Chains A and B, each alone.
Chain A
Amino acid sequence: NAGVTQTPKFQVLKTGQSMTLQCAQDMNHNSMYWYRQDPGMGLRLIYYSASEGTTDKGEVPNGYNVSRLNKREFSLRLESAAPSQTSVYFCASTRGADEGQPQHFGDGTRLSIL
């Protein structure tokens, strides 16, 4: 029962470093999402992929890039990390955004930028 798997779980970076957060789902879902969660705020959408081969910006895309590598995997890249990107990042997937299906979330990646 893997569901949505995120790696790594924790990471500390220095300002200016780059890294890629990995996400994979084994539920044959079409749509995948990246969110960030900051204290006092709800989950905010960074990027999403409605289906394999497509990606779109969410509410807070600046400073990030994404790749929908295949149907299973959706990665999030920070090219030049900034302290403002310190956050907890969640990946989620759903069978299809149009179908009124709930999203299934990974356990999160806690990222600190020094």
Chain B
Amino acid sequence: ILNVEQSPQSLHVQEGDSTNFTCSFPSSNFYALHWYRWETAKSPEALFVMTLNGDEKKKGRISATLNTKEGYSYLYIKGSQPEDSATYLCALLGSARQLTFGSGTQLTVLP
């Protein structure tokens, strides 16, 4: 079982602010890192799958970076909007081809 830590556990930002949160892991022994967005009362939706050190992915105002050598991935949201309010999950795909999820960062964007 891989150890996946996400921080902060929750945060509140004002509409228009940019924000970022962290997924950290002690080992680089994994095949891929996934980010998911999970809105209340819905199912998790995939944002990014990252596999290489230095990977950088972007979708609209959301981007992510991966640093396997130092054991972290950052998720950035530029100009947060109320519709960005959700829980953001990080997960690692390990050698058993199973995803191990972190507990998530709950983002609330205040209008």
Is A53 on the interface with B (CB-CB < 8 A)? no
B-binding residues in A (CB < 8 A): 4, 31, 33, 40-45, 48, 50, 56, 58-59, 90, 97-98, 100-108
A22 to B102, CA, bound (A): 26
Q: Which of A33, A40, A98, A105 has the most chain B CB atoms closer than 10 A to its own CB?
A: A105
Report which residue of A43, A45, A48, A59 has the largest number of chain B beta carbons within 10 angstroms of its beta carbon. A43
Q: Which residues of A are found within 8 Å of B49, using beta-carbon distances? A: 100-102
In the assembled complex, B69 has its CB within 8 A of some CB on chain A: no
Question: Interface-forming stretch among B60-68, B77-85, B91-99?
Answer: B91-99
Alpha-carbon gap, A77 to B55, bound state (A): 39
Q: Which residues of B contact A56 (CB under 8 A)?
A: 96
A45 and B93 contacting across the interface, CB-CB below 8 Å: no
- Please tell me if B46 contacts chain A, counting CB pairs below 8 Å: yes
Contact (Cβ within 8 A) A43 B101: yes
